[in-house]
């Protein structure tokens, strides 16, 4: 049965027992509202480690829009059941006051790549992401931590942070998981209206199609998306669009 760790003190004690015993620990950080993409990370962690821990924490510091934070879906009991079925051993489920006892006075800031793409459109987003991931890695002492490639920029920044601060945790990228129609799996997809959900797969089709980033931007706008960016970086085309009140991101290898 999956063990739930409700606070930082209990989690640190339990994780220290695991690491001192020489047992390998894999961590999957999440904000809940789990789907098959998350569960694929859990299964990979289970294949590569003795113990799998999943954090479920809706991190307020990575939301630049308070309304977006309020709308973010939450159902811990459903998440717990899914995690148990996927082979999760431990679920770390802290509250905001516990994770940010300092009131977020201390934070991690990357000063170059975090200002581009997502960072250019979501002020303070990567400060929040890097800060909470550093906290989670310090709390758990995990041997490996698993992140999906849908958030490609985020993965690279986390990997860079781990290297910069000489963290022992290995940062593992995991392949992006898609719906049958090509839409990248995301917790936010549940907020699409039926009409928006029907249109949403065109984002991936256009991004993966032929043409320059400028051409793809024009095609997305013609299809009905509001485009934040479509850019080529590190052998990938990365894009972010709005569909109604929902923001979608995706990337494809060139």
Q: Are residues 202 and 127 in the same domain?
A: no
Indicate if 239 and 113 belong to the same structural domain. no
pLDDT for the residue numbered 65: 87
pLDDT at 201: 98
Q: Is 254 a member of any domain?
A: no
Chain Cα centroid distance, residue 113: 17
Q: Total domain count for the chain?
A: 2
Q: Token pair of 243, please?
A: 């569909």
Residue 67 lies in a domain: yes
In this structure, the answer to whether residues 155 and 191 fall within a common structural domain is no
Domain-embedded: residue 32:
yes
| 224 and 124 share one domain | no
Residue 115 within a domain: yes
Per the domain annotation, does 180 fall within a domain? Answer: no
Per-residue pLDDT of the chain (254 residues; tens, 9 = 90+): 899 999 999 999 999 999 999 999 999 999 999 999 999 999 999 999 999 999 999 999 999 888 889 989 999 999 999 999 999 999 999 999 999 999 999 999 999 999 999 999 999 999 999 999 999 999 999 999 999 999 999 999 999 999 999 999 999 999 999 999 999 999 999 999 999 999 999 999 999 999 999 999 999 999 999 999 999 998 999 999 999 999 999 999 99
Last residue of a domain, one of 174, 198, 214: 174
Q: What is the CA radius of gyration of the chain?
A: 18
What are the backbone angles phi and psi of residue 32, rounded to the nearest 5°? 75, -160
Residues 161 and 192 reside in one and the same domain: no
**Residues annotated as part of the active site:** 38
Give dist(CA 199, CA 236) in Å, integer.
23
pTM of the model: 0.96
Question: Which domain covers residue 238, as residue numbers?
Answer: 187-248
Residues 143, 239 share a domain: no
pLDDT for res 163 = 98
* Predicted local confidence at residue 100, as pLDDT: 98
Same domain, 221 and 160: no
């Amino acid at each position: 049965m999956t063990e739930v760790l409700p606070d930082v003190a209990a989690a640190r004690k339990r994780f220290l027992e695991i690491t001192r015993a020489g047992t390998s620990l894999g961590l999957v950080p999440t904000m809940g509202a789990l789907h098959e993409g998350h569960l694929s990370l859990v299964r990979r962690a289970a294949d590569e480690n003795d113990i799998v821990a999943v954090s479920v924490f809706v991190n307020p510091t990575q939301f630049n829009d308070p309304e977006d934070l309020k709308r973010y879906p939450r159902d811990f009991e459903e998440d717990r059941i899914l995690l148990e079925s996927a082979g999760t051993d431990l679920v770390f489920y802290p509250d905001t006051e516990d994770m940010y006892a300092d009131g977020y006075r201390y934070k991690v800031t990357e000063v170059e790549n975090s200002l581009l793409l997502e960072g250019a459109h979501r002020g303070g987003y990567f400060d929040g992401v890097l800060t909470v991931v550093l906290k989670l890695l310090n709390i758990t002492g995990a041997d490996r931590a698993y992140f999906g490639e849908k958030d490609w920029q985020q993965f690279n920044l986390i990997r860079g942070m781990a290297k910069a601060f000489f963290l022992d945790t290995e940062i593992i990228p995991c392949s992006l998981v898609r719906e049958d129609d090509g839409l990248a799996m995301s917790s936010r997809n549940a907020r699409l209206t039926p009409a928006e959900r029907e249109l949403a797969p065109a984002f991936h089709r256009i991004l993966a199609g032929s043409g320059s980033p400028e051409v793809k931007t024009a095609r997305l706008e013609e299809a009905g998306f509001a485009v934040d960016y479509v850019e080529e970086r590190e052998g990938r085309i990365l894009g972010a669009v709005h569909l109604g009140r929902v923001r979608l991101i995706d990337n494809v290898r060139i």
